[in-house]
Amino acid sequence: MKKYLVVFHILFVLLFLFACTPKKNIVYMSNDNFQNEVSQARYAGLHIQEGDLLSIVVSAFDEIAVRPFNLGTMSRTANAGTVTSSMPNNTNTTPSEYVVSTDGTIVFPVLGVVYCKGMTKQQLKDDLESRLKRYLTDPMVTISLLNFNISVLGEVNSPGQKTSSTEKLNIFQALALAGDVTYDANRTNVKLIRYSQELGKEQTISLDLSEASVVNSPYYFLQQNDIIYVEPDRNKQILVHSDSATDKWIRYGGVALGLLTLILTLTRK
Protein backbone atom coordinates (compact mmCIF):
# COMPACT_ATOMS: atom_id res chain seq x y z
CA MET A 1 0.00 0.00 0.00
CA LYS A 2 2.81 2.42 0.88
CA LYS A 3 4.42 1.69 -2.49
CA TYR A 4 1.29 2.86 -4.34
CA LEU A 5 1.08 5.99 -2.22
CA VAL A 6 4.68 6.91 -3.09
CA VAL A 7 4.00 6.43 -6.81
CA PHE A 8 0.84 8.53 -6.55
CA HIS A 9 2.71 11.39 -4.85
CA ILE A 10 5.45 11.34 -7.49
CA LEU A 11 2.89 11.50 -10.32
CA PHE A 12 1.06 14.36 -8.61
CA VAL A 13 4.25 16.40 -8.20
CA LEU A 14 5.23 15.85 -11.84
CA LEU A 15 1.78 16.87 -13.04
CA PHE A 16 1.93 20.03 -10.92
CA LEU A 17 5.37 20.96 -12.25
CA PHE A 18 4.33 20.52 -15.88
CA ALA A 19 1.13 22.49 -15.32
CA CYS A 20 2.98 25.45 -13.79
CA THR A 21 5.07 26.32 -16.82
CA PRO A 22 7.69 29.09 -16.63
CA LYS A 23 6.39 32.62 -17.15
CA LYS A 24 6.58 34.08 -20.62
CA ASN A 25 6.19 37.60 -21.98
CA ILE A 26 7.05 39.33 -18.71
CA VAL A 27 8.76 42.19 -20.60
CA TYR A 28 6.68 45.11 -21.85
CA MET A 29 6.74 45.79 -25.62
CA SER A 30 9.30 43.13 -26.56
CA ASN A 31 8.37 43.35 -30.25
CA ASP A 32 11.37 43.98 -32.55
CA ASN A 33 9.51 46.73 -34.43
CA PHE A 34 9.39 48.95 -31.35
CA GLN A 35 10.65 52.17 -32.93
CA ASN A 36 8.39 51.81 -35.96
CA GLU A 37 5.32 51.12 -33.82
CA VAL A 38 5.96 54.00 -31.43
CA SER A 39 6.28 56.44 -34.32
CA GLN A 40 2.71 55.56 -35.36
CA ALA A 41 1.12 56.35 -31.97
CA ARG A 42 -1.45 59.16 -32.13
CA TYR A 43 -3.44 60.98 -29.45
CA ALA A 44 -6.98 61.73 -30.59
CA GLY A 45 -8.02 63.63 -27.45
CA LEU A 46 -10.62 62.80 -24.85
CA HIS A 47 -14.37 63.11 -25.33
CA ILE A 48 -16.55 64.91 -22.82
CA GLN A 49 -18.87 62.67 -20.78
CA GLU A 50 -21.73 63.27 -18.38
CA GLY A 51 -20.47 63.96 -14.89
CA ASP A 52 -17.28 65.59 -16.13
CA LEU A 53 -16.13 68.63 -14.20
CA LEU A 54 -14.96 71.28 -16.66
CA SER A 55 -13.09 74.49 -15.97
CA ILE A 56 -14.06 77.03 -18.65
CA VAL A 57 -12.57 80.51 -18.70
CA VAL A 58 -13.35 83.18 -21.31
CA SER A 59 -10.85 85.94 -22.07
CA ALA A 60 -10.76 88.87 -24.49
CA PHE A 61 -9.13 92.25 -24.96
CA ASP A 62 -12.00 94.04 -23.23
CA GLU A 63 -11.87 92.77 -19.65
CA ILE A 64 -15.13 94.47 -18.66
CA ALA A 65 -17.06 93.07 -21.63
CA VAL A 66 -15.89 89.55 -20.87
CA ARG A 67 -17.03 89.53 -17.23
CA PRO A 68 -20.62 88.35 -17.83
CA PHE A 69 -19.27 85.19 -19.50
CA ASN A 70 -17.17 84.01 -16.54
CA LEU A 71 -18.78 82.63 -13.39
CA GLY A 72 -16.12 84.20 -11.18
CA THR A 73 -16.66 87.77 -12.44
CA MET A 74 -20.22 87.88 -13.77
CA SER A 75 -21.65 89.15 -10.46
CA ARG A 76 -19.52 92.28 -10.71
CA THR A 77 -21.21 93.47 -13.90
CA ALA A 78 -24.19 95.73 -14.05
CA ASN A 79 -26.36 93.09 -15.69
CA ALA A 80 -25.37 90.31 -13.27
CA GLY A 81 -28.98 89.68 -12.32
CA THR A 82 -29.96 88.79 -15.87
CA VAL A 83 -27.23 86.18 -16.34
CA THR A 84 -27.17 84.57 -12.91
CA SER A 85 -30.81 83.56 -13.12
CA SER A 86 -29.97 80.84 -15.66
CA MET A 87 -27.12 79.33 -13.67
CA PRO A 88 -27.57 76.24 -11.46
CA ASN A 89 -26.96 76.66 -7.73
CA ASN A 90 -24.19 74.11 -7.11
CA THR A 91 -22.16 74.69 -3.96
CA ASN A 92 -19.75 71.84 -4.81
CA THR A 93 -18.10 73.74 -7.64
CA THR A 94 -15.88 76.81 -7.63
CA PRO A 95 -16.33 79.79 -9.97
CA SER A 96 -15.39 78.74 -13.56
CA GLU A 97 -16.34 75.07 -13.01
CA TYR A 98 -19.19 73.37 -14.88
CA VAL A 99 -20.62 69.88 -14.33
CA VAL A 100 -21.86 68.12 -17.46
CA SER A 101 -25.44 67.07 -16.70
CA THR A 102 -27.03 63.70 -17.44
CA ASP A 103 -28.45 65.09 -20.68
CA GLY A 104 -24.95 66.08 -21.80
CA THR A 105 -25.27 69.83 -21.37
CA ILE A 106 -23.85 72.71 -19.35
CA VAL A 107 -25.54 76.02 -18.59
CA PHE A 108 -23.25 78.81 -19.74
CA PRO A 109 -23.63 82.48 -18.75
CA VAL A 110 -25.55 84.50 -21.36
CA LEU A 111 -25.36 81.67 -23.93
CA GLY A 112 -27.66 79.40 -21.92
CA VAL A 113 -27.77 75.62 -22.43
CA VAL A 114 -24.85 74.24 -24.44
CA TYR A 115 -24.71 70.58 -25.49
CA CYS A 116 -21.18 69.18 -25.18
CA LYS A 117 -21.41 65.42 -24.51
CA GLY A 118 -19.23 63.45 -26.91
CA MET A 119 -17.30 66.55 -28.03
CA THR A 120 -13.56 66.89 -27.68
CA LYS A 121 -12.30 69.88 -25.72
CA GLN A 122 -11.23 71.49 -29.00
CA GLN A 123 -14.70 71.07 -30.50
CA LEU A 124 -16.35 72.63 -27.44
CA LYS A 125 -13.78 75.44 -27.47
CA ASP A 126 -14.52 76.18 -31.14
CA ASP A 127 -18.29 76.06 -30.53
CA LEU A 128 -18.16 78.47 -27.59
CA GLU A 129 -15.80 80.90 -29.32
CA SER A 130 -18.08 80.92 -32.37
CA ARG A 131 -21.11 81.80 -30.20
CA LEU A 132 -19.20 84.40 -28.18
CA LYS A 133 -18.18 86.32 -31.33
CA ARG A 134 -21.68 87.81 -31.31
CA TYR A 135 -20.76 89.62 -28.08
CA LEU A 136 -16.96 89.84 -27.93
CA THR A 137 -14.05 90.70 -30.21
CA ASP A 138 -11.59 87.81 -30.61
CA PRO A 139 -12.83 85.75 -27.65
CA MET A 140 -10.57 83.00 -26.34
CA VAL A 141 -11.88 80.01 -24.38
CA THR A 142 -9.68 77.83 -22.16
CA ILE A 143 -11.10 74.44 -21.12
CA SER A 144 -9.66 71.89 -18.67
CA LEU A 145 -11.01 68.60 -17.36
CA LEU A 146 -10.68 68.55 -13.56
CA ASN A 147 -11.77 65.00 -12.74
CA PHE A 148 -9.88 62.62 -15.02
CA ASN A 149 -10.53 59.40 -13.10
CA ILE A 150 -9.75 55.81 -14.05
CA SER A 151 -10.00 52.52 -12.14
CA VAL A 152 -7.22 49.92 -12.12
CA LEU A 153 -8.06 46.47 -10.75
CA GLY A 154 -6.56 42.99 -10.53
CA GLU A 155 -2.87 42.10 -10.42
CA VAL A 156 -1.45 45.54 -9.65
CA ASN A 157 0.36 46.70 -6.53
CA SER A 158 -2.08 49.49 -5.68
CA PRO A 159 -5.56 48.83 -7.13
CA GLY A 160 -8.37 51.37 -6.94
CA GLN A 161 -9.61 54.57 -8.53
CA LYS A 162 -6.84 56.90 -9.69
CA THR A 163 -6.94 60.56 -10.63
CA SER A 164 -4.57 61.73 -13.32
CA SER A 165 -3.05 65.19 -13.33
CA THR A 166 -2.78 65.00 -17.12
CA GLU A 167 -5.51 64.38 -19.68
CA LYS A 168 -3.14 62.66 -22.11
CA LEU A 169 -2.80 59.39 -20.24
CA ASN A 170 -1.70 56.11 -21.84
CA ILE A 171 -2.17 52.64 -20.41
CA PHE A 172 1.41 52.35 -19.12
CA GLN A 173 1.08 55.63 -17.24
CA ALA A 174 -2.18 54.34 -15.76
CA LEU A 175 -0.47 51.17 -14.55
CA ALA A 176 2.30 53.32 -13.08
CA LEU A 177 -0.34 55.18 -11.05
CA ALA A 178 -1.35 51.77 -9.66
CA GLY A 179 2.23 50.86 -8.72
CA ASP A 180 2.77 48.70 -11.86
CA VAL A 181 1.59 45.12 -12.34
CA THR A 182 2.64 42.31 -10.02
CA TYR A 183 4.87 39.38 -10.96
CA ASP A 184 1.76 37.19 -11.29
CA ALA A 185 0.11 39.49 -13.85
CA ASN A 186 -0.77 38.36 -17.35
CA ARG A 187 0.66 41.14 -19.51
CA THR A 188 -0.59 39.52 -22.71
CA ASN A 189 -4.30 39.95 -21.94
CA VAL A 190 -5.05 43.16 -20.07
CA LYS A 191 -8.73 44.11 -20.21
CA LEU A 192 -9.87 47.67 -20.90
CA ILE A 193 -13.53 48.39 -20.13
CA ARG A 194 -14.89 51.56 -21.72
CA TYR A 195 -18.38 52.97 -22.20
CA SER A 196 -19.18 53.45 -25.89
CA GLN A 197 -21.30 56.51 -26.67
CA GLU A 198 -22.18 55.05 -30.08
CA LEU A 199 -23.26 51.62 -28.79
CA GLY A 200 -24.73 52.88 -25.54
CA LYS A 201 -23.04 50.12 -23.51
CA GLU A 202 -19.72 49.01 -22.06
CA GLN A 203 -17.05 47.55 -24.34
CA THR A 204 -14.29 45.18 -23.27
CA ILE A 205 -11.02 45.35 -25.21
CA SER A 206 -8.04 43.01 -24.76
CA LEU A 207 -4.56 44.55 -24.95
CA ASP A 208 -1.28 42.66 -25.22
CA LEU A 209 1.27 44.78 -23.36
CA SER A 210 4.12 42.46 -24.36
CA GLU A 211 3.80 43.72 -27.95
CA ALA A 212 5.15 47.10 -29.04
CA SER A 213 2.22 47.38 -31.44
CA VAL A 214 -0.02 48.18 -28.46
CA VAL A 215 0.99 51.84 -28.81
CA ASN A 216 -0.65 51.86 -32.23
CA SER A 217 -3.98 50.75 -30.75
CA PRO A 218 -6.86 53.26 -30.66
CA TYR A 219 -7.18 52.25 -27.01
CA TYR A 220 -3.56 53.02 -26.08
CA PHE A 221 -4.56 56.45 -24.75
CA LEU A 222 -7.25 56.29 -22.09
CA GLN A 223 -10.52 58.15 -21.68
CA GLN A 224 -11.89 59.33 -18.34
CA ASN A 225 -13.78 56.64 -16.39
CA ASP A 226 -11.97 53.79 -18.15
CA ILE A 227 -11.53 50.57 -16.15
CA ILE A 228 -8.36 48.48 -16.48
CA TYR A 229 -8.36 44.89 -15.26
CA VAL A 230 -5.08 42.97 -15.10
CA GLU A 231 -5.86 39.29 -14.81
CA PRO A 232 -3.56 36.76 -13.09
CA ASP A 233 -1.39 34.56 -15.27
CA ARG A 234 -2.01 30.86 -15.81
CA ASN A 235 0.40 29.78 -13.09
CA LYS A 236 -1.41 31.73 -10.39
CA GLN A 237 -4.82 30.59 -11.63
CA ILE A 238 -3.65 26.96 -11.38
CA LEU A 239 -2.17 27.58 -7.95
CA VAL A 240 -5.37 29.19 -6.65
CA HIS A 241 -7.45 26.38 -8.14
CA SER A 242 -5.15 23.79 -6.57
CA ASP A 243 -5.36 25.49 -3.16
CA SER A 244 -9.14 25.60 -3.47
CA ALA A 245 -9.29 21.91 -4.43
CA THR A 246 -6.98 21.01 -1.53
CA ASP A 247 -9.13 22.92 0.94
CA LYS A 248 -12.20 21.15 -0.39
CA TRP A 249 -10.63 17.71 0.01
CA ILE A 250 -9.51 18.59 3.54
CA ARG A 251 -13.04 19.63 4.45
CA TYR A 252 -14.58 16.55 2.87
CA GLY A 253 -11.92 14.35 4.44
CA GLY A 254 -12.59 15.87 7.85
CA VAL A 255 -16.32 15.24 7.52
CA ALA A 256 -15.72 11.66 6.32
CA LEU A 257 -13.28 11.00 9.16
CA GLY A 258 -15.76 12.38 11.68
CA LEU A 259 -18.54 10.15 10.33
CA LEU A 260 -16.25 7.13 10.32
CA THR A 261 -15.25 7.82 13.93
CA LEU A 262 -18.90 8.17 14.91
CA ILE A 263 -19.82 4.87 13.21
CA LEU A 264 -16.95 3.01 14.85
CA THR A 265 -17.90 4.42 18.26
CA LEU A 266 -21.52 3.39 17.86
CA THR A 267 -20.72 -0.13 16.60
CA ARG A 268 -18.42 -0.82 19.54
CA LYS A 269 -21.18 -0.24 22.06
Asked if the model's pLDDT at residue 228 lies above 80, the reply is yes
* In contact, 192 and 228? CB cutoff 8 Å: yes
How many residues are present in the chain?
269
Confidence category of residue 244, pLDDT binned at 50, 70, 90: low
Asked if the model's pLDDT at residue 4 lies above 70, the reply is no
Q: What is the pLDDT at residue 6?
A: 45
Q: What is the pLDDT at residue 196?
A: 83
Q: What is the pLDDT at residue 8?
A: 46
Q: What is the pLDDT at residue 85?
A: 34
| 25 Cα distance to chain centroid | 23
In single-letter form, the type of residue at position 99 comes to V
Higher pLDDT, 258 or 70: 70
Percentage of the residues of the chain whose pLDDT score is greater than 90: 50
Poorest-confidence range of 93-102, 139-148, 237-246, 253-262?
A: 237-246
| DSSP secondary structure, 48-69, as one string | --TT-EEEEEEE-S-HHHHGGG
Asked if the model's pLDDT at residue 127 lies above 60, the reply is yes
Enumerate the H helices of 118-224 as residue ranges: 121-132, 171-177
Q: What pTM value is reported for the model?
A: 0.65
List the domains of the chain with CATH numbers.
Answer: 53-145 (3.30.1950.10), 148-234 (3.10.560.10)
